[in-house]
Homo-oligomer: A and B are copies of this chain.
């Protein structure tokens, strides 16, 4: 559930006079996103999303995130288009916070993704990787190995509270991942958080990709690994080979993976699972409200780490050498 800064209709009316999107008809805070406050706006010009950026988002990163959305939308990717203010800017200020308005995308995120959904996600991920190639800004991945270390330092002493033995298990993973992490895979702009709640469908047709607030520059295949983790496991924690095959075939139909990328997938999947385990573990142990309030279970990702550790080759994910 979103952080929720309330705003008055007077403040919002004044803010909207900076835009040419018509008269305000209604606005309602929505229960989506975990980092920011989001509102659906209805104006005489249509529906929009208003986002207030809360303190967990670095203000200096906003031109990257919003500029990327605009860049991708203009290249034909179905993602929100930031609305320009009358002064030409795409970032304003509302209720003391940086704020932006983006177009509203119809569609529903799939609570139970099918193989057909996975194939479409593979295609759009590859299309985003290609379309991002000529984006001018760059942003290092704050959640690659050094970032994981910082998270782990905030959790390590209490990791065994979550599961006995977790401290030793994760420490060993750090050693093996650091020794083997690739140095020279194809890199570019990645979404870095393409979970099902960030992809909208109308039926089986993908209608939009949202939430670019973790986007950064890193190995393209690392984004592929994150999607395998996010889309291709069942609720019983089993990997679904049909979905993995569909996702990778969709991706490769738009951008074939190199043999080196395919070989690196087990390691990248393992590392990506560690990354999401660490943010969940950190929030679990350090977030507000103790362990009671609506938090995601780090153990789901511990299970995925164990799965990837025993993978022999990327063919077990459904990958086919090009």
Contacts and interface: CB of A to CB of B under 8 A. Distances in A.
A163 B32 CA distance: 37
Given A1-B1, A292-B289, A107 B31 contact: no
Interface in A239-292: 289, 292
Contacts of A31: 1-2, 4, 28-31
A9 B110 contact: yes
A8 B111 contact: yes
Interface residues of A, number: 35
Nearest to A112: B8
A130 interface: no
A202 interface: yes
Contacts of A4: 1, 31
A8 to B, nearest CB: 4
A106 interface: yes
A10 interface: yes
Contacts of A103: none
A28 B40 CA distance: 9
Given A9-B109, A25-B202, A26-B105, 17 more contacts: A1-B1, A1-B31, A6-B111, A9-B108, A9-B110, A9-B111, A10-B112, A12-B108, A26-B104, A26-B106, A28-B30, A29-B31, A30-B30, A30-B31, A42-B47, A289-B289, A289-B293
